[in-house]
Amino acid sequence: MQKIIISAAGCWTKELLEDIPVVPQKHTVFRVKCPKHVPEMPLTGDLTTGVYWRPEGKEYLAGSPISVFDANDLEPAWNDFEELVWPALAKRIPAFEELKLTGGWAGYYDCNKLDNNAVVGKHPKYDNVYIATGFTGRGLMQAPGIGRALTELITTGSYQTIDISAFSVERVLNSEVRHEPYVL
Ligand SMILES: Cc1cc2nc3c(=O)[nH]c(=O)nc-3n(C[C@H](O)[C@H](O)[C@H](O)COP(=O)(O)OP(=O)(O)OC[C@H]3O[C@@H](n4cnc5c(N)ncnc54)[C@H](O)[C@@H]3O)c2cc1C
């Protein structure tokens, strides 16, 4: 039986498969607490600035819309909090004017530079190589469906319950752009 290789290397994909344009994109997330009561809310984004926030236990996470390719380190972009994130939060939710910054971190999004969408399926140049990458900051949310669909493709030769051929490797190799404009 032929061995199957699945490349799920996230933002390091291009190091293994040069023709797949998935690269590291640094993003910073801040943790804040708010002394005032704020009604419950889901993950919420401010489209005018790109700032987003969501509850995290008794605190909140708030993300900066500024991203950096070719970053040299993963030091959080602390200045973004004062200059951009806090003002945007306070404008939308006045109680957030009294926010206190309690932490923050930076990490790499697995950015598909072609169009910010996932790249999933069989690599047409190889007999036995499959890919699941390029989720551009949405990989945790998409993982259950991607895992199921890719399992179906590998074990039966086609998608059975979830057709994700829109994310095909061919689309990326042929530069068929399906741009996702909203990347949190
Ligand atoms: C700050 C931040 C916030 C995020 N928030 C969310 C969110 O709220 N919701 C959401 O859905 N997603 C979010 N994401 C995105 C999510 O984390 C990624 O989309 C997801 O982790 C991608 O999963 P993956 O398994 O494809 O890749 P990864 O989790 O990056 O895993 C890739 C693995 O491959 C390994 N690897 C790489 N190269 C090689 C090699 N040559 N040999 C062997 N192993 C190798 C790496 O060590 C790593 O363990 C966030 C990301 C960041 C940075």
Q: What is the pTM of this model?
A: 0.92
Provide, rounded to the nearest whole percent, the portion of the chain with pLDDT above 70.
99
The confidence score (pLDDT) of residue 1 equals: 67
Question: In this predicted structure, which of 34-38, 116-120, 174-178 has the lowest mean pLDDT?
Answer: 34-38
For the chain, what's the residue count?
184
Q: Is 141 in the pocket of ligand 1 (CB under 6 A)?
A: yes
User: pLDDT grade, residue 27 (50/70/90)?
Assistant: very high
- The rounded Å distance from CA 107 to ligand 1 centre is 9
For residue range 114-166, list pLDDT tens digits in order.
Answer: 999 999 999 999 999 999 999 999 999 999 999 999 999 999 999 999 999 99
Domain span including residue 162: 5-21+113-173
Mean pLDDT of the chain: 95
Q: Tell which of 61, 78, 110 closes a domain.
A: 110
Domain of 72: which CATH number?
Answer: 3.30.9.10
Same domain, 16 and 28: no
Domain of 135: which CATH number?
Answer: 3.50.50.60
For residue range 73-89, list pLDDT tens digits in order.
Answer: 999 999 999 999 999 99
Element containing residue 112 per DSSP (H, E): strand 100-112
- The rounded Å distance from CA 180 to ligand 1 centre is 19
Same domain, 12 and 80: no
The confidence score (pLDDT) of residue 63 equals: 95
- Determine the Cα–Cα distance for residues 78 and 52; give it in Å rounded to an integer: 16
43 Cα nearest atom in ligand 1 = 8
> Helix (H, G, I), strand (E, B), or coil: what is residue 52?
strand
